[in-house]
Structure 1
Amino acid sequence: MAPRPNRTPPQRPPRPLIPPIDVSDLTTYPLKKRHSKVRVADFARPWTRGGSFEQFFASLPDLLAVKTVRAVAAAIATAHRQRRPVIIGIGAHVIKVGLAPLLVDLMERGIITAVAMNGAGIIHDFELALMGHTSEEVDAEIDEGRFGMAEDTGRILNEAITLGAQHGQGLGEAVGHYINRYQGQFPNRATSILATGAKLGLPVTVHVAIGTDIIHMHPAADGAAIGATSLLDFRRLAAVVAGMEGGVYLNVGSAVILPEVFLKTVSLGRNLGNPLTKITTVNMDFLSHYRPLTNVVRRPTQKGGKGYALTGHHEIMLPLLAAAVLEQIR
């Protein structure tokens, strides 16, 4: 068999390299004429032992998140002075990390005028008021089907909700009044956001998705009562949001439920003739999520107002913000 002819293509010569750009005619300007985002005057100052919180807060660098904290604190203080609503929506984690006393204090001072929480919030608030402890080890309990099976929690909370439905109360109002009515059973009720709201007549609303909370597994759960009381709370929160022109809404630690609820209350309020063009919205969480940034920070303020995002751990950021607000008001 005859050998095949060599079909190797001819080698092309390499392309010449592109010469480096000539920068000899570059246009420059003096540094002193350039706008700069960071200045020495904005730097942090070293801490002096024994100083006050006011001195500590003033010593922080006036940059990035610190500027945001200061702007949010100023917005809350201004809303308080002008008697405008300051509403805080909280995920249950805020209660679990020990921050209820701070919120109770701000409610009693008249700074926080309304609280919204998800369904898990009432569980931790209730258990802390009743027993002084909360938050079970889910990993240790789920394998044996023990997760969420605390008898007291399921029975008493469902009883409070059912009684509330019978008396035309919202879910948060129902549980708060129950704790205050049977206060002898709740030695730690001073830490309860629900009980404080009921005592002061401040709206504490609860926004439930059926099946997300441990009390929904218990035989005492009444879907009609849960739905009726939570719907009433949604409409009550919508009434507060409709009147929050010049006010502030903070979403702290809720990634899905409360951002969705808040967006609907804004739409409902505007549909009924409330422009809501001068509002401040804030999202605070230790991770950035789509819904809070979209449905709290951006969409409600695109018509007017200002939206802020603060990323950090609740147990650090919320006490810092609360103290900054109190200093501004003082």
Structure 2
Amino acid sequence: MFKPKKIDFSKNKTFTAANRHNLVRIDNLMEIKKVEDLRNDYEEIEDFIRAIVEARKNGKPVTMFYGAHVIKCGLSKYLIEMIKRGYVTHIASNGAGSIHDFELAYLGGTSEHVPTAIEDGSFGMWEETGRWMNEAIQIGYKNGMGYGESLANYIHTNKEKFPYREYCVFYNAYLNNIPATYHISIGTDIIHQHPTADYAALGYTSGEDFKIFCNSIKDLDGGVHMNFGSSVQGPEVFLKALSIVRNQKLGANKITTANFDLIPLGNYKKDVSKEHFHYYYRPRKNIINRPTSLGGRGFYFELNHMKSIPYIFNRLSEELESGE
């Protein structure tokens, strides 16, 4: 019988991240402030804001899936405030989203310079990130936890290692009783390169997070789901979760969804031919169109995260904390 050969990951050489140059640091995170008014350029954005306001006033969930670049854009403080104020009820990301968050918590910085690091094979080979995250996930695996809870619990029980934990999004979600789930693909994240990686633990904990995500989606009737910059993982995970919920007749029929990205989609509400590359852009169908076919509304906003998230935060602050 054919037996394919495997490379020995125990030979991978790791390096301390202590003196690493980080592009994103706690001292250059975006501060909470007033931002430009987008209403004149994006006529539908107020309709979307109203949907979130109505959802929260009615006790309906607002779920958010984001790609790692939301953290790399320095928006952690905005996400944390949205969690603390109850503007969002579930946050989700891919594995990279958890890694940048984790590095900010222990190192105070994240986002290495990939073009040079990939040349000598040092890219992603960070001892503390890989060892501690894998240790956290393996502890969580043994205790039946999900991926996000495993990381947050590890920080909570090892606070001395994480002097900057106040800037960690998933840790703030943990402290505020909001689910933070991470949906991984094996081989996509730098911690999978570490010699201590346990793929059974990684798969189990992320699988548990998928169940947690599905539980949040089941209550989405009258609620809102947002996807920021995740072009594959977010749309695919959301569509499968929605299918499970509807398969079990749990609801989530009339929902509002929105996708935020930099791809110019034109008339995103119109079907597009398989001959056009837009057909293969998953958020168009999996976030905007297909989930809202039973009711509700799907939006698309061609916006940089550094504009969209601060604007949404500011408008929700005005609408939900006006005292009316």
Q: Which TM-score tier does this pair reach, normalised by the shorter chain?
A: 0.7 to 0.9
2:39 and 2:308 map into 1 onto residues whose CA distance is: 14
Is contact 1:173–1:197 with CA below 8 Å preserved after alignment? no
1:80 and 1:292 map into 2 onto residues whose CA distance is: 24
- 1:153 aligns with 129
TM norm structure 2: 0.82
List per-residue Cα deviations over 1:196-238 (Å, max 9, x = no partner): 1221221100100000001001111101100100000001100
Q: Which has the higher contact order (CA 8 A, sep 6+)?
A: 2
Shift of the alpha carbon at 1:184? 2.1
Within the alignment, does 1:140 sit opposite 2:116 as a pair?
A: yes
Within the alignment, does 1:321 sit opposite 2:297 as a pair?
A: no
Is contact 1:90–1:251 with CA below 8 Å preserved after alignment? yes
Selected match of 1:202 from 166, 169, 178: 178
List per-residue Cα deviations over 1:179-205 (Å, max 9, x = no partner): 122122212111111111221221100
Is contact 2:39–2:46 with CA below 8 Å preserved after alignment? no
Shift of the alpha carbon at 1:279? 0.6
Shift of the alpha carbon at 1:128? 0.6
1:197 and 1:90 map into 2 onto residues whose CA distance is: 15
1:284 and 1:218 map into 2 onto residues whose CA distance is: 33
Output the aligned Cα RMSD.
1.6
Is contact 2:87–2:316 with CA below 8 Å preserved after alignment? no
Is contact 2:219–2:251 with CA below 8 Å preserved after alignment? no
- 2:155 aligns with 179
TM norm structure 1: 0.80
What SS class does the counterpart of residue 89 from structure 1 fall into?
Answer: strand
List per-residue Cα deviations over 1:243-262 (Å, max 9, x = no partner): 11110000001010110000
Within the alignment, does 1:302 sit opposite 2:293 as a pair?
A: yes
**Which protein shows a greater Rg?**
1
- 1:274 aligns with 250
- 1:15 aligns with none
What SS class does the counterpart of residue 130 from structure 1 fall into?
Answer: helix
2:295 and 2:203 map into 1 onto residues whose CA distance is: 33
Selected match of 1:256 from 225, 232, 238: 232
- 1:33 aligns with none
Shift of the alpha carbon at 1:98? 0.9
Selected match of 1:233 from 209, 212, 231: 209
How many positions carry a matched residue from both structures?
274
- 1:68 aligns with 44
